Structure 1
Amino acid sequence: MLPSLFVAHGAPLLAIENNEYTKFLEQIGKKWVRPKAVVLFSAHWESHTQKVSKVDKYETIYDFGGFPEALYRIKYPAKGDYSVTKEIEECFLSQGISYDVDTKRGLDHGAWVVLKLIYPKADIPVISMSVNPNLTPTEKYQIGKSLLDLRKQDILIIASGGTVHNLGALKMGRAEETTDQWALEFDLWLEHHITNWDLGTLFNYNSLAPSAELAVPPYGREHFIPIFYAMGAADNQRNAKLLHRSYRYGNLSHSVWQFGEIQ
């Protein structure tokens, strides 16, 4: 059994950088059991109804602008797996979760930046999944929970986003790598309640967490909420480990959470 993961995808530049965080992500793919497939919820695919991809081979989406040309030359030609898509559909049907199947969309940078660092050969099937910021945290958790049996088949569930993601607060030109106190306070609050699996408090993070309005602004909520899908997928074990945390540009968090155990 594989755990589920919440992985910060940071800025697109991670795909061509060599730093503490990229090195950490590269080690996950080298150390962990090779998954049968990856089911990935991306903050950059928002939809009102849950979307499940059914794609033979993915195009690479460059959903950003103004970055070095090298980024636009990257391809991540992962294939899908119709049998895993069917299993996901069956999970949703059994739990009464509404969904649509998407047969055209490629992988956005919230998906391929993470996947390229962990599995650079693009030789593991991927099933791309949307997120819905308008659902309650409970509903997001339940969607993840409906998929927890996939982990028993060595299917890796990844939720890609960022716990602190406020583009308006980034300090792109700052020379020193100091981290804003408000970002640290929010992440430390989050760490405490995640490790204690305190769902009641976590589901009300917007009113209870320090500096929640800065860490998770309305226009950046889609990056935070994937963590609830990942936690739900480990509801049968309910343990959490913070595997990595670092920051860029003053407050953009690079955190990786593991939910559940490798068995």
Structure 2
Amino acid sequence: MTSTLTRPPSLYISHGAPNLILYDSDTRDFWRSLGANVPRPSAILIMSAHFETARPTFEKGAHPGMIYDFGGFEPELYQMAYPAPGAPALAQQAFELARAANLDAALSEGRGYDHGTWIPLKVMFPHADIPVATLSVQPRENGAHHFALGRALSPLRDEGVLIIGSGSATHNLRAFFGGEDTPPWALTFNEWLHDRIEAGDAAAIAAWEQGPDALRNHPTPEHYLPLPFAFGAAGPGTKGKRLHHAIVGPISLDTYGFS
């Protein structure tokens, strides 16, 4: 992926813990490099695992504030801000595309940037000068629904919009806080995911529950579902590529690009 491209890819980013932004790591370095090398977007549309609703909801506020939706972390995190402007026109356009695809979409106004949004974007685009519209995940819906939602919004990429799904490729917090080293079941699912994505197997990514130890890696689905969304946003016939690989205990920090 180089800056010679003019049409932004769609991305799936494993956003990790909020304090990832504070310390040197390969993942933070990769995010910084990714932001510098991706074609500069006209705007960003990002689905965060931490914005949950029953139906696809697009935030149309012009000046989103900050949401510090975490506790017990370093005090300096609660002083950080990401003052990127909202993207009301993009939210409206995305809403209309979703409705045209017979998806029961909605608009919201007044919701700020949660950490699934502002943590990676603050590293990738630190000048906060690209408008951002946020989109909810629907944990009660399946992978096929999220893939269809991404597909409905894929025309936005032709207008220079960077579409991002922000979650975590594996996400068992109980195992993480239990202090486990990376267990075999996390490695197996993570590599199954990698193989299916790079094979372009959209059906397997949508029916993710059939993957090895899928529900052990994702006891709840909200961190997974932004992945089929990003896959769908790439358009038909796409194969993804793993752009970054890291895993901490049972939590994968992998990033995928779809172009």
Q: How would you bin the TM-score normalised by the shorter chain?
A: over 0.9
1:233 and 2:239 aligned: no
Determine which of 157, 167, 172 is the counterpart of 2:173. Answer: 167
Alignment partner of 1:118 is 2:124: yes
CA deviation string 1:12-45 (max 9, x = no partner): 1112121110000000111122100000000000
Pairing 1:12-161 to 2, within 5 Å after superposition? 12-161=18-167
Shift in Å, 1:151: 0.5
The answer to whether structure 1 residue 201 and structure 2 residue 207 are counterparts is no
- CA distance in structure 2 between the aligned counterparts of 1:229 and 1:148, rounded to whole angstroms: 10
The one-letter code sitting in structure 2 at the alignment partner of 1:229 is F
The match for 2:3 is none
* Cα 1:2–1:225 shift into 2, 3 Å: same
In the aligned structure 2, how far is the partner of 1:173 from the partner of 1:92? 41
Q: Which residue of 2 aligns with 1:256?
A: 255
Any runs of at least 4 consecutive aligned residues in structure 1 with deviations exceeding 3 A, and if so which? 171-174
**How many residues are paired up?**
253
Partners of 2:204 and 2:80 lie apart in 1 by 40
Question: Secondary structure at the residue paired with 2:67?
Answer: coil
Give aligned-pair identity as a percent: 35
Q: Which residue of 1 aligns with 2:4?
A: none
Deviation at 1:160, TM superposition (A): 0.1
Unmatched 5+ stretches in structure 1: none
Q: How far apart are residue 201 of structure 1 and its match?
A: 2.6
Q: Deviations over 1:60-104 (max 9, x none)?
A: 100000111011010011111222122212212221211111110
CA distance in 1 between counterparts of 2:53 and 2:160 reads 27
Q: Tell me which amino acid in the other structure corresponds to 2:111.
A: R
Preserved CA contact (<8 Å) 2:14 2:255: yes
Match of 1:244 in 2: 244
Contact (CA 8 Å) 1:148, 1:236: kept in 2 or not? no
Q: Distance in 2 between matches of 1:86 and 1:171?
A: 40
Q: TM-score, normalised by structure 1?
A: 0.92
Q: C-alpha displacement at 1:50, in angstroms?
A: 1.0
RMSD: 1.4
Q: Is the 8 A contact 1:63 1:109 kept in 2?
A: yes
Deviates more, 1:89-98 or 1:21-30: 89-98
Q: Distance in 2 between matches of 1:201 and 1:254?
A: 20
Cα distance in 1, alignment partners of residues 99 and 174 from structure 2: 40
Change (3 A) 1:134 1:192: same
TM-score, normalisation: structure 2: 0.93
Q: Distance in 1 between matches of 2:65 and 2:190?
A: 34
1:90-143 deviation line (CA, Å, top 9, x unaligned): 212221211111110000001000111111111100000000011121111111
- Displacement of 1:237 in angstroms is 4.4
